[in-house]
Amino acid sequence: MAEDRRTRRTRRALGTALVELVLERGFSALTVEDITERADVARATFYAHFKGKDDLFARVATDLLEQLAQRLEPAVSGSAVGFTGKPLLEMLRHVGDERDTYRVVLRGEGDGKPLQMFVDSCAAATAQEFKARAERNSVQPRIDADLLARVWVGEQIAVLRWWAEQDTPPMPAEEVVRMLLDLALHGRYWASGFTAPDQG
Three-state SS at 78: coil
What is the tens place of the pLDDT at every residue in 15-69? 999 999 999 999 999 999 999 999 999 999 999 999 999 999 999 999 999 999 9
pLDDT at 119 over 60: yes
Annotate 114-141 with three-state secondary structure.
HHHHHHHHHHHHHHHHHHHHHHHCCCCC
Coil/strand/helix, residue 143: coil
The total number of residues shown for the chain amounts to 200
CATH of domain 57-187: 1.10.357.10
Q: Which of 43-57, 84-98, 99-113 is least confident?
A: 84-98
Distance between CA atoms of residues 126 and 153, nearest Å = 8
State how far the alpha carbon of 172 is from the alpha carbons of 2, 90, 163, 179, in Å: 41, 13, 10, 11
CB 60 within 8 A of CB 19: yes
| Band of residue 170 on the pLDDT scale cut at 50, 70, 90 | confident
Residue boundaries of the structural domains of the chain: 57-187
Highest mean pLDDT among 75-84, 93-102, 164-173, 175-184 belongs to 93-102
Contact 144, 130 (CB under 8 A): no
